[in-house]
């Protein structure tokens, strides 16, 4: 296949498959990291000192080291060092390990954003709930949560856009996401080799995806503008 017009459908088909994997990792991470982040956030405010200290240490390590290294350690450590390849083989195993690494990493960042959101709510809201006889969970869910969501939406949106692009790091353990799919045409795949433009093309996927997400998250912010 020599001409661009001949190569294009083959490349697009491959990139689509890669992008599907990218999106899978994106959604799984989001679904796992948001609730786990909230849990870590509550834990890091716990009254029990050991829990607090361990979580602070954990957050420090996760935020202080590259996600790429975390991916490598999580994927290879059980098999190579412990001789117990917990993730299983093939693409399924790579996806499982990537998901775990991404969820842990993003949960730590989310937890700090949640913590900021909680402490930014005036103590008067808490007190008003208390004097009205509300329980602590009622105060959190009925009074503070929506105010907190409104405040953390901009930084969370930032993280979400970053996550879309960060999924490409999973390439380091050969997860067949879109960068991997694009790169394949440099080495040679399906009769195309030495082509770098498929890799450039992947940028369009990220750009369109983040454009849609920006609209969606912006719409959400707008929805919460009804109160201050």
Partner 1 sequence: MSILEVEHIGKSFDHTEVLKDICFTLEKSQVLSIIGSSGSGKTTLLRCLNFLEHADSGVIKVGGKVVFDASDKEYLKESVVRKNRLHFGMVFQSFNLFPQYTALQNVMLAKQLQAKKLPEYKEKKKEILQEIEDEAKMLLYQMGLSERMDNYPHQLSGGQCQRVAIARALALKPDILCFDEPTSALDPELTGEVLRVIKELAETKMTMIIVTHEMAFARDVSDKVIFMDDGYVLEHGTPDEVFNNPKEERTKQFLGRFIANNN
Q: How many residues bind partner 1 (CB under 8 A)?
A: 21
C-alpha closest to that of 37 among 137, 119, 106: 106
Sign, CA torsion 82/83/88/94? positive
Using the rule CB under 8 A, is 50 a contact of partner 1? no
Binder among 138, 162, 190, 214 for partner 1 (CB under 8 A):
138
Nearest residue (CB) to partner 1, 90 versus 227: 227
Using the rule CB under 8 A, is 56 a contact of partner 1? no
Nearest residue (CB) to partner 1, 21 versus 147: 147
Q: Are 135 and 104 in contact (CB under 8 A)?
A: no
Binder among 57, 128, 196, 215 for partner 1 (CB under 8 A):
128
Nearest residue (CB) to partner 1, 161 versus 224: 224
How far from chain centre, in Å, is Cα 11?
Answer: 27
Using the rule CB under 8 A, is 194 a contact of partner 1? no
The CA distance from 16 to 18, in Å, is 5
Using the rule CB under 8 A, is 142 a contact of partner 1? yes
Three-state secondary structure of 55-94: HHHHHHHHHHCCHHHHHHHHHHHHHHHCCCCCCCCHHHHH
Nearest residue (CB) to partner 1, 3 versus 226: 226
Using the rule CB under 8 A, is 2 a contact of partner 1? no
The CA distance from 112 to 120, in Å, is 12
Binder among 146, 208, 212, 215 for partner 1 (CB under 8 A):
146
Nearest residue (CB) to partner 1, 90 versus 133: 133
Please name the residue that has the structure tokens 């098999």.
79
Using the rule CB under 8 A, is 48 a contact of partner 1? no
Strand partners, 189: 192
Chain residues that interact with partner 1, rule: CB under 8 A: 122, 124-125, 127-128, 130-136, 138, 142-143, 146-147, 150, 226-228
């Amino acid at each position: 296949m020599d001409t661009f017009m001949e190569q294009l459908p083959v490349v697009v088909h491959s990139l689509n498959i890669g992008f599907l994997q990218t999106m899978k990792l994106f959604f799984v991470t989001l679904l796992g990291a948001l609730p786990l982040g909230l849990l870590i956030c509550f834990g890091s405010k716990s009254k029990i000192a050991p829990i607090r200290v361990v979580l602070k240490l954990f957050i420090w390590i996760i935020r202080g080291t590259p996600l790429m290294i975390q991916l490598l350690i999580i994927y290879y450590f059980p098999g190579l060092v412990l001789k117990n390849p917990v993730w299983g083989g093939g693409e399924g195993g790579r996806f499982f390990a990537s998901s775990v690494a991404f969820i842990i990493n993003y949960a730590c960042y989310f937890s700090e954003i949640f913590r900021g959101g909680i402490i930014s709510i005036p103590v008067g809201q808490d007190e008003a709930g208390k004097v009205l006889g509300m329980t602590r969970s009622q105060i959190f869910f009925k009074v503070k949560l929506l105010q907190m969501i409104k405040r953390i939406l901009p930084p969370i949106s930032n993280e979400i856009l970053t996550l879309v692009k960060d999924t490409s790091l999973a390439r380091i353990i050969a997860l067949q996401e879109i960068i991997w799919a694009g790169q394949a045409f440099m080495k040679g795949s399906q009769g195309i080799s030495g082509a770098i433009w498929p890799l450039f093309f992947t940028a369009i996927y990220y750009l369109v995806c983040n454009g849609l997400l920006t609209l969606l998250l912006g719409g959400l912010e707008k929805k919460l503008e009804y109160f201050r």
